[in-house]
Amino acid sequence: MTESVPGHDADKRLSLLSNWVEQHLPGKVERIEPASSDASFRRYFRVIHRRGSRIAMDSPPDREPLDRFITLAGKLRACGLRAPRVYASDAEHGFALLSDLGPQTYLDVLTQAPGRADALYGDAIHRLVTLQLRMQADDLPRYDEALLRRELDIFREWLIERHLDVRLEGSALTAWRDACDVLVASALAQPVVCVHRDFHSRNLMAGKAGDPGVLDFQDAVMGPMTYDLVSLLRDCYHELPAADLSRYRDWYVSLLSQTALAPLLPERAVFERWFDRMGAQRHLKAAGIFARLHHRDGKSGYLADIPRTLGYVLALDDPALTPLQNWLREHACAVL
């Protein structure tokens, strides 16, 4: 077996993972190569063996315990989503051997073949409705007020205070608090469904036509119905043309209206306001996380995604958010 990642002291876990994989695929492994990484402490490696490939996941147990991932992978598969199959796991060391959902994310395909967007988003919307309709997840945490506010605080702490070196005071602090109150109230007013929480182009795999693979679901909660939809359509990593976004949102509403969840849908204006405000909450949080990844974790590549992410917030036509938007335009020029 060969490893494409060089061995050094900082990567002892890769050596341990490689040895563990060999125990489960004895004599079959040809090489292990990086598959992907994400904004967490998890890493993924593609294991090439004689009969195909597997994904080896390195999930440090003190940072990212495996239990929720394994449990939710099974639940997602049971309700019809193409989540990874778990072939073997070691919770003590944080290792898992998974089915390989393919090398191409939605983001890869959208970048290389934008003409496939309708098909990809149509498939994703069908899978999202399946998740909301079938997932039995009453044991999941609630996306409650405390969690919503903790997430918004990430933006203030890491992007405003740490990255921009600004303290919110006076009218700026009032604008921030008022906006947070509006966004939290809007989220809590929505019907509660299962929320993947990172349903976007980097976590959807395009390997199987009509049935995207779904990754990074271990933080799922029960929460607002528009959360995953806005994650998909106002993606921090890929911006859709406004006309396409509107069409895809209509596809979701039309599809949901044909299911048992139809009574949850409000009138169009209310739904679109929920969608916009849910997006603002998510995008403020995400921009804060991108700043945190830079300052705390040394992952500076995500800084390039902040202008797009905050741009969604600034583009909203919502009088309740205008004071915050004006302050951001004036004081956040360095990241816009």
pLDDT of 87 > 70? The answer is yes
Q: How confident is the model at residue 39 (pLDDT cuts 50, 70, 90)?
A: low
Q: Give percent of the chain above pLDDT 70.
A: 96
Interval 164-192: pLDDT, tens: 999 999 999 999 999 999 999 999 999 99
pLDDT of 235 > 60? The answer is yes
Interval 249-287: pLDDT, tens: 999 999 999 999 999 999 999 999 999 999 999 999 999
Q: Are strands 192-195 and 204-205 parallel, antiparallel or unpaired?
A: unpaired
Is the distance from CB of 7 to CB of 14 less than 8 angstroms? yes
Alpha-helix runs per DSSP H in 257-305: 268-297
pLDDT value, residue 223: 97
Is the distance from CB of 129 to CB of 255 less than 8 angstroms? yes
pLDDT value, residue 106: 97
- Candidates 99, 17, 106, 89; CA nearest to 54 is 99
Comparing 117-126, 190-199, 204-213, which segment has the lowest mean pLDDT?
204-213
Q: How confident is the model at residue 5 (pLDDT cuts 50, 70, 90)?
A: very low
Mean pLDDT of the chain: 93
Please say whether the dihedral angle defined by the alpha carbons of residues 219, 128, 290 and 4, taken in this order, is positive or negative: positive
Q: How confident is the model at residue 2 (pLDDT cuts 50, 70, 90)?
A: very low
pLDDT of 40 > 90? The answer is no
pLDDT of 244 > 60? The answer is yes
pLDDT of 144 > 50? The answer is yes
Cα three-residue angle 263-228-99, rounded to 5 degrees: 120
pLDDT value, residue 116: 95
Rounded to whole angstroms, the Cα distance separating 250 from 316 reads 18
Q: How confident is the model at residue 7 (pLDDT cuts 50, 70, 90)?
A: very low
Entry pTM: 0.93
pLDDT value, residue 85: 97
pLDDT of 4 > 70? The answer is no
pLDDT of 1 > 60? The answer is no
pLDDT of 38 > 80? The answer is no
Distance of alpha carbon 317 from its chain centroid, rounded? 25
Rounded to whole angstroms, the Cα distance separating 239 from 221 reads 25
